[in-house]
């Protein structure tokens, strides 16, 4: 069994696509619509055939309440790994990313947190060790 797609709810798919491609540096993988439904995914350019992230429109009241509560509590909606957190932090900050936590040493890793402008916090993690 493999994980091929995971989702993050966003309040605006076009805005999310711009953020996840232009600021984070992911590549658009799929984008098609049928009626009001739009299937939109991005993937890491480092693993173009790897796991995709669906940028799912958050038009479900229960999901929207969950998303807002997580944001208010400072909890990330998802986490991305990097080999060089400081370089990615500087690159993304230069592209307008709003970080709520700069690179910070924590147990066995370094993390940073940023706002995706679409209702979510994203955690970036650089592991201090590899298992």
Q: Which residues are bridge partners to 56 per DSSP?
A: 9
Residue 54: which region, alpha, beta or left (left: phi > 0; alpha: psi -120 to 50)?
beta
pLDDT, tens digit, 9 for 90 and up, residues 41-97:
999 999 999 999 999 999 999 989 999 999 999 999 999 999 999 999 999 999 999
What's the mean pLDDT in 107-129?
A: 95
Domains and CATH numbers, the chain: 5-127 (3.10.180.10)
pLDDT of residue 129: 74
Whether the predicted pLDDT of 130 surpasses 80: no
CA angle 14, 88, 80 (to 5 degrees): 65
Question: Quick one: DSSP state of residue 20?
Answer: I
Q: Which of these, 1, 5, 89, lies nearest to 55 by C-alpha position? A: 5
CB atoms within 10 A of CB 6: 11
Give yes or no for a contact between 94 and 55, defined as CB atoms under 8 angstroms apart.
Answer: no
pLDDT reading at 131 higher than 60:
no
């Amino acid at each position: 069994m493999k994980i091929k797609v995971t989702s993050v709810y966003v309040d605006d798919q076009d805005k999310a696509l711009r953020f996840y491609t232009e600021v984070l540096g992911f590549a658009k993988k799929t984008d098609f619509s049928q009626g009001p439904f739009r299937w939109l995914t991005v993937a890491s350019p480092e693993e173009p055939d790897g796991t995709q992230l669906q940028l799912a429109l958050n038009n479900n009241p229960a999901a929207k309440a969950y998303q807002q509560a997580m944001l208010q509590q400072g909890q990330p909606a998802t986490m991305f790994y990097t080999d060089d957190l400081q370089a990615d932090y500087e690159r993304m900050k230069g592209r307008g990313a709003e970080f709520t936590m700069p690179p910070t040493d924590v147990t066995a890793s370094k993390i940073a947190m940023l706002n995706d402008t679409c209702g979510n916090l994203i955690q970036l993690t650089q592991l201090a060790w590899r298992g």
